[in-house]
Amino acid sequence: MTQKHATPSDNRVTIVPTGCCHDCGGRCVLKAHVKDGKIIRLETDNGEEPQIRACLRGRAYRQRVYSPDRLKYPLRRVGERGEGRFERISWDEALDTVASELKRIKGTYGNSAILLAGGSGNQGMLHGANQVARMLTHFGGYTRTWGAASYEGSLFASMATYGTISTGNTRDDLLNSRLIIMWGWNPANTIQDPGTSLYLAKVREKGAKIVAVDPRYTDSAATFAHQWIPIRPGTDAAMLIAMAYVIITENLHDQVFIDKYTVGFDKYREYVLGIEDGIPKTQKWAESITTVPADIITDLAREYATSKPAALIAGWGPARTAMGEQYSRAANVLTAITGNIGIHGGYAAGFMRAYSSREKRGPRGPKNPVEVGAPPRKDSLYKLRGGTNPTSARIHSSKIYDAILRGRDGGYPADIKMAYVVASNFINQHPNTRRGVEAFKTLEFIVVHEQFMTPTAKLGDIVLPVNTFMERNDIAPPWLGAPYYIYLNKAIDSLYESKSDLEICRELSKRLGIPHAFGNESEDELLRNIASFREDIPDYDAMKRDGVVKIKIPEPIVSFKEQIDDPEHNPFPTLSGKIEIYCKHLADMNNPMIPPIPKYITHWENYDDPLAAKYPLQLLTTHCKTRAHSTWYNVPWMKEIEPHSVWINPVDAEARGIKDGDLVDVFNDRGRIRIPAWVTERIMPGVVNVSQGAWYDPDEEGVDRGGCANVLTNDEQSPGGAVPMNTALVQVELASHAAP
Ligand SMILES: Nc1nc2c(c(=O)[nH]1)N[C@H]1C(S)=C(S)[C@@H](COP(=O)(O)OP(=O)(O)OC[C@H]3O[C@@H](n4cnc5c(=O)[nH]c(N)nc54)[C@H](O)[C@@H]3O)O[C@H]1N2
Ligand SMILES: Nc1nc2c(c(=O)[nH]1)N[C@H]1C(S)=C(S)[C@@H](COP(=O)(O)OP(=O)(O)OC[C@H]3O[C@@H](n4cnc5c(=O)[nH]c(N)nc54)[C@H](O)[C@@H]3O)O[C@H]1N2
Ligand code: SF4
Ligand SMILES: [Mo]
């Protein structure tokens, strides 16, 4: 039922306070103007500061809800898998089929044969992939992946350095910084808390210096920065280590801070100065690796060390590389040796989660039986609490296709026989898409809960239509470090025959003989219960009425303030109790690819890989402003704003006879995509960019006309678990030159 809220002049219009909660780094306020059961307009937060204003995608959401392409009815595959031919069936038939396949797979192979391919499509606390996880847990368990595409490199480094993922300060604290370095960070497009751009604009107005280190001249660099430093992808650790060289040799490090709060500086110093390996990590050394001129490195190092408090914000993009955690570790350590941690205006580079919602310990659900008793994974930080669950029962997300194809014989913990896909465009969003299709085609059964016929849904045997967050109630927690919650009131009834993931799982559970897995509570009752475990949601009804609760914090949150102000009583949650420049937990792994101090180590498909002779361009696959991953891809307004294209520098374009707008192929041994070129100096020579999330759409020859970046990425992992989506070598040629 649609609720009554404010009544504007046209009394047939109801304004429903709701929100947007796909996985885009936001979570924003939307007010749906509903007339005759239809959303006719979307407004955003015009209320009290700080406003939680929706971006272009949220404001265009009507085109997604009312898209003619919405999945309307349950579908069953006819014809070959992946061919895309389906027939309409009833909900009963669809659910009976899914239940009987689940039972068959479990009976024949055991629960570990069921892969939960759960994605981040919905970020509300009630709906989405977590309901399927709950159902499958009660059903005896399932196999899942580890290795978050988003941030595993940064997360691993934060755990190793600080023993926690709660690093950085809340965005309002940027106003206290004298210098901000946006290192591989583009919040003007790639949202990381909705208010970030506003604070950067205020910083700029105030006059503090902002520097961008990025192979691309991003919108953030163009809008906020005084200086852009282009750098070769995958080499950031070298520049950060050379900055440490300048700081140490010029005696600009904070020795008092180092002595009091850190361990292992001497070992790092020996590596940096070349005492360990005979190679001093000078600015010249780094110039030859990064292409950043030595004097620019020197200047930035001096400025950073002498402009205290300064915020080095080390984004996740450069960590999404083949040795990603070394970059993150090097950044974390640089913030430590300059004493920029635990103070206003400083910033402990790391995972970033300044504000963590205050959760009371509620009743815990059962554990996934497939994982119970499995020993910790080799090379995991299993001695630390928090971070990634180290169970060896999980398969790295990059290796999942290899695992499907090779199973236990290939050394994996399971023989996967079916995929349960929910809130995920799995095939499109994991590296090496063509191998993914090959792997998925070997499965015995695939069920997909979706809103649209995505490239992944196309591979389903049964596809179930799911409603959107406009058609149900939910609470969305803050994405990273912002203090608020959104309450998404249901604005309209579910369109067509679509249902929520929760409703689907309830129905299935009855058929699976586990009706106790889900009670009969209403959405409101369930959400009220969820909210009751959050200390920072004092008044559920007020939040529901307003569509948002903004939590008042007396001053900006500074992570590690307690540790710095009163170290006696507040050790860092590392094994040593201090910031670990040298990490013994890493040393104990005895893996030269995971050294105990941060190092620059070159890697596969780096600029100096012999493969560069054949594929000379380094590929970035960034997030973009018109989509959250592959979501919004099919929204016409978004396509109008920024057509999908490959960024290429004029130097590289000219050498290939490519003019702006020409149709080109970007390719390597894994595949070939065909999209227009955007010839621009906003990307450095030797690097090209294809934003991730365009839908895979192969022609008869296998050339992807959609331009899915993951056709080109490698299904490998970094030693610490990063998904290396920004490490791939490619070539570009005019499409008309492609061999037939
Ligand atoms: N609009 C929008 N916002 C989003 C998302 C979205 O899809 N759309 N997704 C959300 C999610 S789930 C996530 S995980 C985050 C991701 O957030 P990020 O990881 O920060 O996103 P990216 O845009 O991929 O990367 C940030 C910047 O890193 C740069 N970069 C890439 N490789 C390198 C490198 O080797 N060195 C250096 N110095 N720079 C490099 C890119 O050019 C880019 O400008 O964003 C969130 N926000
Ligand atoms: N090359 C490359 N690839 C990347 C990245 C990169 O930087 N480069 N970034 C990676 C990152 S950081 C992430 S987080 C992943 C994200 O990858 P995914 O989690 O696969 O995210 P989406 O592509 O947005 O797909 C989510 C799907 O969920 C559906 N959906 C939305 N709401 C619901 C719901 O309530 N229920 C159900 N059942 N479905 C729903 C949407 O229609 C959409 O198709 O992509 C990763 N892929
Ligand atoms: S897409 Fe993200 S940033 Fe944009 S309105 Fe939705 S939640 Fe906010
Ligand atoms: Mo992500």
CA of 212 to the centre of ligand 4 (A): 21
Angle between the N-to-C axes of helices 236-249 and 294-306, in degrees from 0 to 180, rounded to the nearest 10: 60
Mean pLDDT to the nearest integer, 536-562: 95
Mutate-to-test residue for ligand 2 from 692, 695, 704, highest number of ligand atoms within 8 A of CB? 692
Q: Where are the alpha helices (DSSP H) in 573-635?
A: 584-589
Dist. CA 75–CA 462, nearest whole Å: 6
Q: Which atom of ligand 2 is nearest to the CA of 623?
A: 7
Model confidence band, residue 352 (pLDDT cutoffs 50, 70, 90): confident
The reported pLDDT for the residue numbered 482 is 83
154 alpha carbon, closest ligand: 1
Residue range 605-625: average pLDDT? 98
Strand partners, 312: 181
> What is the domain class of 610-737 according to CATH?
mainly beta
Using a 6 Å cutoff on CB, does residue 466 contact ligand 2?
Answer: yes
CB-ligand 2 contact for 130 (6 Å cutoff): no
65's CB contacts (< 8 A; 6+ apart) are: 39, 468, 470, 471, 492, 495
What Å distances lie between residue 70 and 66, 67, 118, 464, 467, CA to CA? 7, 6, 20, 11, 9
Query: Would you tell me how many other CB atoms lie within 10 Å of the CB of residue 602?
Result: 15
Ligand nearest to the CA of 120: 2
Distance between CA 202 and CA 78 in Å, rounded? 57
Note the ligand closest to the C-alpha atom of 478: 3
Q: Read off the pLDDT of each residue in 381-396 and give the average, rounded to a whole number.
A: 96
Q: What does the pLDDT average to over 351-358?
A: 77
For the Cβ of 24 lying below 6 angstroms from any atom of ligand 1, the answer is: yes
pLDDT tops 80 at residue 360: no
- 690 alpha carbon, closest ligand: 2
By alpha-carbon position, which residue is closest to atom 39 of ligand 2? 423
The pLDDT score that the predictor gives to residue 678 is: 98
Region 686-709: mean pLDDT is 98
* 52 CA closest ligand 3 atom index: 8
Average pLDDT over residues 546-575: 96
Is the CB of residue 2 less than 8 Å from the CB of residue 491?
A: yes
Q: What is the pLDDT of residue 8?
A: 53
Q: Which ligand is nearest to the CA of 465?
A: 2
Atom of ligand 1 nearest to the CA of 55: 1
pLDDT at 5: 53
**Binding site membership of 424 for ligand 2 (Cβ less than 6 Å):** yes
387/389 Cα distance (integer angstroms): 7
Whether 230 lines ligand 1, by a CB cut-off of 6 Å, is no
Q: Averaged over 416-442, what is the pLDDT?
A: 98
Question: How much of the chain exceeds pLDDT 90, in percent?
Answer: 94
- In the chain, % helix, strand, coil (3-state, to 5) comes to 30, 20, 50
Ligand 2: which of 400, 428, 451, 499 to mutate, judged by most atoms within 8 Å of the beta carbon? 451
Residues 6+ apart with CB under 8 A from 378: 392, 589
Distance 574 CA to ligand 4 centre (A): 26
CATH no., domain 88-144+376-467+495-534: 3.40.50.740
What is the distance in A from the centroid of ligand 1 to the CA of 317? 5
Q: What is residue 4's predicted lDDT score, i.e. its pLDDT?
A: 47
**Ligand 1: centre distance to CA 630 (Å):** 14
Report whether residue 230 contacts ligand 3, using a CB cutoff of 6 Å: no
Closest ligand to residue 470's CA: 2
Ligand 1 center to 23 CA (angstroms): 13
Residue 154 has pLDDT above 60, yes or no: yes
The finding on whether 23 has its CB within 6 A of some atom of ligand 2 is yes
Share of the chain above pLDDT 70, in %: 98
Give 210's DSSP letter.
E
Q: 228-287, pLDDT tens digit by residue? A: 999 999 999 999 999 999 999 999 999 999 999 999 999 999 999 999 999 999 999 999
User: Domain-by-domain residue ranges, the chain?
Assistant: 88-144+376-467+495-534, 153-355+562-587, 610-737
Ligand of minimum distance to the alpha carbon of 316: 1
Collect all residues with Cβ–Cβ distance below 8 Å to 712 and sequence separation of at least 6.
619, 621, 666, 667, 668, 670, 671, 673, 690, 728, 730
Report the pLDDT value the prediction gives residue 737, as an integer from 0 to 100. 85
DSSP one-letter string for 517-557: GS----HHHHHHHHHHTBTT---HHHHHHHSEEEPP-SS--
Q: Which two tokens stand for residue 377?
A: 């994974």
Q: Is the distance from CB of 428 to CB of 693 less than 8 angstroms? A: yes
Query: Is the beta carbon of 20 within 6 A of some atom in ligand 3?
Result: yes
215 alpha carbon to ligand 4 midpoint, in Å?
20
Taking the CA of residue 726 as reference, the ligand 1 atom at the shortest distance is: 32
pLDDT at 3: 46
Q: What is the pLDDT of residues 19-30, one digit of tens each?
A: 999 999 999 999
> Each residue of 90-134: pLDDT tens digit?
999 999 999 999 999 999 999 999 999 999 999 999 999 999 999
| Closest residue to atom 10 of ligand 2, CA basis | 149
Q: Average pLDDT of the chain?
A: 96
Q: Which atom of ligand 3 is nearest to the CA of 25?
A: 2
Q: Is 547 in the pocket of ligand 3 (CB under 6 A)?
A: no
Distance 425 CA to ligand 2 centre (A): 5
Nearest of 182, 166, 1, 19 to residue 548 by alpha carbon? 19
Quote the pLDDT of residue 2.
41
Range in 175-179, 194-198, 311-315, 651-655 with the lowest mean pLDDT:
194-198
Cα separation, 212 vs 226, whole angstroms: 8
> Model confidence at 298, in pLDDT bands (50, 70, 90)?
very high
Cα separation of 573 and 576, whole Å?
Answer: 8
Q: What is the pLDDT of residues 701-731, one digit of tens each?
A: 999 999 999 999 999 999 999 999 999 999 9
Determine the average pLDDT of the residues in 538-554.
95
pLDDT value at residue 478: 84
- CATH superfamily, domain at 153-355+562-587: Dimethylsulfoxide Reductase, domain 2 (3.40.228.10)
- pTM, two decimal places: 0.97
Q: How many angstroms separate the CA atoms of 300 and 280, rounded?
A: 19
Residue 355 has pLDDT above 70, yes or no: yes
| Identical fold between 88-144+376-467+495-534 and 153-355+562-587 | no
Nearest Cα to Cα of residue 418 among 156, 130, 117, 629: 117
Residue 315 beta carbon below 6 angstroms from any ligand 1 atom:
yes
For the segment 655-672, the average pLDDT, to the nearest whole number, is 98
Return the ligand 3 atom nearest residue 27 CA.
Answer: 7
Establish whether residue 26 lines the binding site of ligand 3, counting it when its CB lies within 6 angstroms of any ligand atom.
yes
Average pLDDT, integer, range 277-300: 98
